[in-house]
Structures are given as structure tokens and as C-alpha cells.
Amino acid sequence: MRDPFFRFIMEVIGAFIVWASKGFKGKFDDEMSGPNESSAKSWRNLLISAAFILLVLAAVSKISDKKKEKIGDNKYEVIIK
């Protein structure tokens, strides 16, 4: 069984993204499903939340890789003859 807090957070993230994509029309509660409900809304919110979190992690990883490349580019060699 999944943690209720984790499930709630995933539900809120997914519902917010759907609500925002609709232009904040209607009520936020309309995009949420009940706490013990396993409906299409619940699965939709879970999948959207998972995709959003993966997208954020990929972006953060890409940014950190670019910062590491910039740090490595500033190496200079001093050659004494």
C-alpha cells in the first residue's frame, strides 16, 4: 500500500497541472479525486505528476552537467622551458 501523504502530494501536483492547463477555469477540487477513490482522475493525476517530476529531475541534471563542464573549461597549463 502506498503512503497516504505521497499519494496526496502526487494527486495535488497532477490536479494543479491539469487545472493550469485548462486556464484555471472551474474549481481546483474538480480535478481532484477522493482519498479512497481509484478512478481515472486519480490515475491521470498520478501519471502527470510522475512525468512532471521526471522532467524536473532531467532538467536539474542537465543544468548541473553544464555547470560541471564550465568549471572544467577554466583549466590552464603553465609550461616553463
Domain that holds residue 22: 4-73
- 81 in a structural domain: no
Compute the distance between CA of residue 45 and CA of residue 59 in angstroms, rounded to an integer.
Answer: 21
Q: Residue 64 above 60 pLDDT? A: yes
Cell of 29: 477540487
- 79 in a structural domain: no
- 10 in a structural domain: yes
Tens of pLDDT along 24-41?
999 998 888 877 777 888
Distances (CA, A) of 8 to 34, 35, 44, 55, 60: 10, 8, 13, 20, 24
- 37 in a structural domain: yes
- 62 in a structural domain: yes
- 80 in a structural domain: no
Q: What is the DSSP code (8-state) at residue 24? A: S
Count of domains for the chain: 1
Compute the distance between CA of residue 69 and CA of residue 6 in angstroms, rounded to an integer.
Answer: 35
**Percentage of the residues of the chain whose pLDDT score is greater than 70:** 84
Cell of 47: 501519471
- 78 in a structural domain: no
